[in-house]
Amino acid sequence: MTAIKHALQRDIFTPNDERLLSIVNVCKAGKKKKNCFLCATVTTERPVQVKVVKVKKSDKGDFYKRQIAWTLRDLAVVDAKDAIKENPEFDLHFEKIYKWVASSTAEKNAFISCIWKLNQRYLRKKIDFVNVSSQLLEESVPSGENQSVTGGDEEAVDEYQELNAREEQDIEIMMEGCEYAISNAEAFAERLSRELQVLDGANIQSIMASEKQVNILMKLLDDALKEVDQIELKLSSYEEMLQSVKEQMDQISESNHLIHLSNTNNVKLLSEIEFLVNHLDLAKGHIKALQEGDLASSRGIEACTNAADALLQCMNVALRPGHDMLLAVKQQQQRFSDLREHFARRLASHLNNVFVQQGHDQSSTLAQHSVELTLPNHHPFHRDLLRYAKLMEWLKSTDYGKYEGLTKNYMDYLSRLYEREIKDFFEVAKIKMTGTTKESKKFGLHGSSGKLTGSTSSLNKLSVQSSGNRRSQSSSLLDMGNMSASDLDVADRTKFDKIFEQVLSELEPLCLAEQDFISKFFKLQQHQSIPGTMTEAEDLDGGTSSRQHNSGTPLPVSSEKDMIRQMMIKIFRCIEPELNNLIALGDKIDSFNSLYMLVKMSHHVWTAQNVDPASFLSTTLGNVLVTVKRNFDKCISNQIRQMEEVKISKKSKVGILPFVAEFEEFAGLAESIFKNAERRGDLDKAYTKLIRGVFVNVEKVANESQKTPRDVVMMENFHHIFATLSRLKISCLEAEKKEAKQKYTDHLQSYVIYSLGQPLEKLNHFFEGVEARVAQGIREEEVSYQLAFNKQELRKVIKEYPGKEVKKGLDNLYKKVDKHLCEEENLLQVVWHSMQDEFIRQYKHFEGLIARCYPGSGVTMEFTIQDILDYCSSIAQSH
């Protein structure tokens, strides 16, 4: 093993400036045995690096090669497997676990001992040694043959010092003087020993020569010792004298310390007494104000407010440790508590009386507003109560129970007062809407509550009377769900609009003023909300609050905002039902009123939401807006349903259908109402539904008409629709306007062709035969040679239609058209002009056939185009 160690040192580690400290012959556990060596090495240069190197014999020769190296710092655990029994197996835990079997237990123990010493010396015990005997882990005890190598080499490494330049030079000179030093080391060492003995003798002789100087030095030292003894005697006497002075100074110092301590205690005691007196002393004036202060006068309220604030400051003083154990402090705190309880009861009682008195005083003014559509002003009451706002804040922070009781009492008294005022106000509004008390009973109004009773009027079927003028037709149209202007004219609707706007304009400032007052008087924040989901507010109507508050515990901001909303709901609980009743009445009077209400209510909701989306006013008006929108949708649905149910008379001509006229009225009214409105989108959707219903049902009625031709019904009604849409310029109905124009044009052309028919019937049949022969392949100029279509037959047919007969036929046609068309739409001249153009077109067609098929025959019609124009003009003027 020693030979192998020297060989490894020479061949592998010396070239790398490393020193081999320990070696063990191992093989891997559990596999085919392939021997290798684990070597513990250190570098010869600083800083020292310690490594475990695996060395393996080369397969190609007898030399060794370095296979893998680990730094000792990477070694985590050394597992010897068994600390008692001899076992050659051991594990080294680097980045993974390496299992080894040593050739002998002694080599394993020597190697582990070396690793432990290197760990102790360079790594400071960072490696865990498991199942290792404690004898191996003692640095001073040698272990095996490698111990001397390990210890000696480590010390050699630590004590090694590099030669300086001068030492190297001296060694070289000495080596040059002894050329045989290299070949004969013993002779060289003997020579060095003789030279060292010569140098030692020279040193001894030099010392003996300096004996005289040594004696002189010794004498001087004796004299110095005597001087030192004298100085020590003097210092001892001085120390004895100072000892007495020290004792006196200690006594004086102790006395001064006691005086200083006493003075410090007195100052602290005075400071504590001043603190208690300054912070726990309530002025007699404040005590008197709390006990007997006048809560009715402004001066008394101010005095009570100041006294309450002073009392609160005294009660909220942060006492220092130990103060609460003083009897005087306990008595003063009890006195403050009694004062607080007494004043809180007095304040609550007074404010309850003020709430009750306000209800009586305000009731006396209701008669003044009964004839006017205005609500009583509560500003004076709010102004008087706001003087107590600071006292309410004090009560909220000191006695929340009484504060909550006042809140409930205020809601109870004010809700009854507002209920009377608002119901009377809505009663006046309903009377003004319906005109008189008798008319209000007609619509189901009974009593001061203003509730609507009765059932909705039944819907009657529409009929068209037989007279030919518009007035007789309008009088024959039955009520379409109260949507016709026959019941209420524009002035009545404008009146309703103003009344409804006045109602909303009176309610809005009333609610906002009350909400602002509640916030200020009860010290509740309403404009600073915490993001997130609001906590569910407790029922303020209940007798016992579900929340439990300690005295002076403030509410979270979100709860305060919710409390304002709940108070407003309790106080103004009658507003929403009263508004719904008023809306129902307006809808019963005239369903077109839902248009006015939708616009006004939308505007007020939009305004309220801009101020505070979660406020009582915004929420209430939003709920009512849902009802208004539902009524508006119902109005549109009723119109469409009544279009589908319309019936026409079999004996009279149709004319403009009633629902077409109703759509014109609705659209004109809606455009004037919804101008610049926030909910224009709702109207556009309604337009789309209505116009589709109009189109479908116009065609349905036209198909069912017996007296009036289908084309006339379609032509007149779609012309009316087109004219209405063109006049109103409704942007969302542009496509429908173009469709109506197309339908009007198509049915006008169809009616003209149908009505004109064949005014020259025999001549028309004759030329139809001519065209048939040409279609069979006969040339046009050869048609005259056909027996049935020769010139004589043509002249015979033409003679049957002289100008007088043509004029007579056109006159009969004009009367027939006049009988079909209605006066309202005034389309007679338009239709007559179209018939004139169609007749001239047929005339030109016949002349063209004569010129082509009978060239040079000289055969012409008995009348000319100018005669046709004169006939049509004279007929139109005569009628």
Q: What is the pLDDT of residue 138?
A: 66
The amino acid present at 489, given as its one-letter code, is: D
Q: What is the pLDDT of residue 351?
A: 92
**C-alpha to C-alpha distance for 369 and 424, rounded to whole angstroms:** 9
Task: Pick the range with the lowest mean pLDDT from 113-122, 160-169, 264-273, 371-380.
Answer: 160-169
pTM for the predicted model, two decimal places: 0.55
pLDDT of residue 575: 92
146: pLDDT confidence band, cut at 50, 70 and 90? very low
Is the sign of the CA dihedral 479, 480, 483, 486 positive or negative?
negative
Judge residue 83's burial from the number of C-beta atoms within 10 Å of its C-beta, 0-12 exposed, 13-18 middle, 19 or more buried: middle
Helical packing angle, 284-292 and 298-315, nearest 10°: 120
Average pLDDT of the residues in 62-86: 87
| Distance of alpha carbon 610 from alpha carbon 626, whole angstroms | 18
pLDDT exceeds 70 at position 464:
no
The answer to whether residues 852 and 789 touch, using CB atoms and an 8 Å cutoff, is no
pLDDT at position 364 is 52
Is residue 592 within 8 Å of 635, Cβ to Cβ? yes
Round the average pLDDT of the chain to a whole number and report it: 80
Cβ atoms < 10 Å from Cβ of 748:
21
Residue 544's pLDDT is what? 34
Q: Is the pLDDT of residue 726 over 60?
A: yes
Instruction: Identify the pLDDT of residue 183.
Output: 65
Q: Convert 268-298 to b/e letters by CB count within 10 Å (16 or more is b).
A: eeeeeeeebeeebebeeebbebbeebebeee
What per-residue confidence (pLDDT) applies to 860?
82
Is the separation of the CB atoms in 127 and 76 below 8 Å? yes
Q: Are strands 445-446 and 451-452 parallel, antiparallel or unpaired?
A: antiparallel
pLDDT band of residue 451 (cuts 50, 70, 90) is very low
Choose the weakest-confidence range: 51-65, 281-295, 487-501, 624-638: 487-501
When pLDDT is averaged across residues 88-117 and rounded to a whole number, the result is 90
Q: In what order do the strands lie in the sheet with 128-130?
A: 64-71, 50-57, 36-43, 18-28, 97-102, 89-93, 77-79, 128-130
What CATH number was assigned to the domain covering residues 362-436+490-524+559-623? 1.20.1310
Q: What is the 3-state secondary structure (H, E, C) of 336-391?
A: HHHHHHHHHHHHHHHHHHHHHHHHHHHHCCHHHHCCCCCCCCCHHHHHHHHHHHHH
**What is the average pLDDT across 340-369?**
77
**Beta-carbon neighbour count of residue 477 at 10 Å?**
20
Q: How far is CA 262 from CA 252, 259, 276, 872, in A?
A: 16, 5, 21, 137
Per-residue confidence band for 148, with pLDDT thresholds at 50, 70 and 90? very low
Is the CB of residue 94 less than 8 Å from the CB of residue 25?
no
Considering 314-318, 690-694, 706-710, the range whose residues carry the highest mean pLDDT is: 690-694
For 212-231, how does the pLDDT look when each residue is reduced to its tens digit (9 = 90+)?
777 888 888 888 998 998 99
Look at residue 397 and tell me whether its pLDDT is greater than 50.
yes
- Is the pLDDT at 439 greater than 70, yes or no? no
Stretch 632-650: mean pLDDT = 86
How confident is the model at residue 650, as a pLDDT?
73
Task: Assess whether pLDDT exceeds 90 at residue 41.
Answer: yes
Report the C-alpha gap between 28 and 67 in whole angstroms.
Answer: 14
Q: Say which DSSP state 20 is in.
A: E
Q: What is the pLDDT of residue 156?
A: 41
- Name the token pair of 689: 């539904």
pLDDT at 365: 55
Quick one: which H or E segment has residue 319?
none
Residue pointed to by tokens 């009633």: 658
pLDDT, residue 69, reads 92
| Long-range contacts, stretch 745-750, CB < 8 angstroms, 24+ apart | 747/710, 747/711, 747/712, 747/714, 747/715, 747/718, 748/711, 748/715, 748/719, 748/827, 748/830, 748/831, 748/834, 749/834, 750/711
Q: Is the peptide bond before 47 cis (omega within 30 degrees of 0)?
A: yes
Identify the bridge partners of residue 91 per DSSP, sorted by sequence position: 79, 99
Q: How far apart are CA 449 and CA 581, in angstroms?
A: 10
pLDDT, mean of residues 262-281: 85
Fold for 1-136, please state it: PH-domain like (2.30.29)
pLDDT score for 471 = 31
Q: Which tops the pLDDT comparison, 646 or 463?
A: 646
What pLDDT does 692 receive?
92
Confidence of residue 345 (pLDDT cuts 50, 70, 90): very high
What is the model's pLDDT at position 570? 93
Residues 6+ apart with CB under 8 A from 279: 313, 314, 317
Burial of 668 (0-12, 13-18, 19+ CB in 10 A): middle
